[in-house]
């Protein structure tokens, strides 16, 4: 049994400001392990993502009590039996979607849809079982198999990726979510090709990473959209070709910049509004993406639940397209 401090959430809290309501409590908890196929990691950097906020507010339901945190890096302290991917002393990035490697989705190369991994995450456990955490004898659940807002974390070895020792921890942590969602969406889901034009709606952690991923993919033109002028300056410093201050004329401005539309659009709610403005020249595809403009693609990163706005967007767009047919 190992004891260490962690930020524990015992119930959802929407009272603002959080600096007054203080929904997270810094408590000493206990951890088993690491067991078979598990690793004990000393957390060296953890960043705050909106998905962590959704745990606190209850927008996404999780078992309680829970230790949030899913975007982090650390150093391997000890390993359980059968662990072969990492060893003590390795610097690792914690990955919120474990891949078992044997389910149909993993065998098809769609490891982000690993069913055992998703099931373990939703149950607040590890891919290898659990939960492994406890507070005063009561089980404490894992957030996305990680629970990184803590001094230590017990995780499945399938939730870790070893990285170079000289990579700064605060940068390595971002690889676990922002870079994976941003650059990964651009290069893998969208399949952006050299010379294509991409509109990125929202220049936060994911949007900035998408921009860098587009640069690496050889995008011919990158248009950044955000309501914050400061973030647009950041976008320009990262290599955006054009920036658009988000507002009532956003779609018209993009259409004018691109002479009729872009090859790809990516982002969240803002991306939906842009695509909705293009809907007369769109055609729906059953795989959940949208073909927009001149054989382009729109993608909304993130995994929605019941009542999620992405589902509403899809239904609205589908209805618009049918009414125009």
Q: Is 245 helix (H, G, I), strand (E, B) or coil?
A: strand
Q: What percent of the chain is predicted at pLDDT more than 70?
A: 80
Q: Is the pLDDT of residue 165 over 80?
A: yes
Task: Give CA–CA dist 221/239, Å, rounded.
Answer: 9
Identify which of 63, 70, 71 has the alpha carbon closest to the alpha carbon of residue 10: 63
pLDDT exceeds 50 at position 324: no
Q: How far is the CA of 132 from the CAs of 70, 151, 256, in angstroms? A: 16, 15, 55
Q: Which pLDDT score is estimated for 305?
A: 42
DSSP 22-79: --EEEEEEEE----TTEEEEEEEEE---HHHHHHHHTSS---SSEE---SEEEEEEEE
C-alpha distance across the termini of the chain, in Å:
64
Q: Is the pTM of the predicted complex or chain greater than 0.85? A: no
Fold assignment, 179-324: Rossmann fold (3.40.50)
**pLDDT tier at 281 (50, 70, 90 boundaries)?**
very low
What is the CATH architecture assignment of 2-176?
A: Alpha-Beta Complex (3.90)
Q: What is the pLDDT of residues 81-111, one digit of tens each?
A: 999 999 999 999 999 999 999 999 999 998 8
What integer is the mean pLDDT of 219-226? Answer: 93
User: Cis peptide before 28, with omega less than 30 degrees from 0?
Assistant: no
Tell me how far apart the alpha carbons of residues 153 and 151 are, in angstroms, rounded to a whole number: 7
Q: Is the pLDDT of residue 314 over 80?
A: no
Token pair for 271: 């991306």
Domain ranges of the chain: 2-176, 179-324
Among 4-13, 82-91, 184-193, 294-303, name the one with the lowest average pLDDT.
Answer: 294-303
Tell the residue number behind the tokens 């001094």, with chain if given: 151
Is 316's pLDDT higher than 90? no
């Amino acid at each position: 049994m190992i004891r260490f401090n962690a930020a524990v959430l015992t119930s959802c809290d929407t009272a603002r400001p959080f600096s007054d309501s203080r929904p997270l409590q810094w408590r000493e908890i206990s951890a088993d392990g690491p067991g078979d196929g598990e690793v004990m990691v000393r957390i060296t950097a953890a960043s705050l993502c909106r998905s962590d906020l959704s745990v606190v507010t209850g927008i996404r339901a999780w078992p309680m009590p829970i230790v949030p945190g899913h975007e982090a890096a650390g150093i391997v302290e000890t390993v359980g039996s059968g662990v072969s991917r990492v060893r003590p002393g390795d610097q690792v990035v914690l990955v919120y979607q474990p891949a078992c490697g044997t389910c149909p989705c993993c065998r098809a190369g769609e490891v982000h849809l690993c069913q055992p991994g998703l099931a373990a995450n939703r149950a607040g456990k590890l891919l290898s079982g659990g939960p492994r955490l406890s507070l005063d004898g009561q089980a404490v659940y894992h957030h996305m198999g990680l629970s990184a807002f803590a001094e230590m974390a017990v995780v499945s070895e399938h939730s870790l990726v070893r990285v170079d020792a000289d990579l700064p921890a605060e940068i390595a942590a971002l690889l676990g979510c922002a870079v994976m969602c941003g650059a990964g969406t651009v290069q893998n889901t969208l399949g952006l090709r050299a010379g294509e034009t991409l509109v990125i709606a929202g220049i936060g952690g994911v949007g900035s990473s998408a921009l860098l991923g587009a640069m690496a993919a050889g995008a011919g033109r990158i248009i950044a959209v955000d309501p914050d002028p400061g973030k647009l300056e950041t976008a320009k410093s990262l290599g955006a070709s054009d920036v658009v201050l988000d507002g009532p004329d956003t779609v018209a401005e993009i259409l004018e910049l691109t002479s009729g539309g872009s090859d790809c659009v990516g982002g969240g709610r803002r991306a939906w509004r842009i695509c909705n403005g293009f809907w007369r020249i769109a055609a729906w595809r059953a795989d959940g993406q949208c073909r927009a403009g001149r054989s382009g693609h729109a993608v909304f990163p993130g995994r929605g639940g019941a009542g999620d706005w992405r589902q509403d967007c899809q239904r609205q767009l589908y209805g618009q397209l049918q009414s125009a047919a």
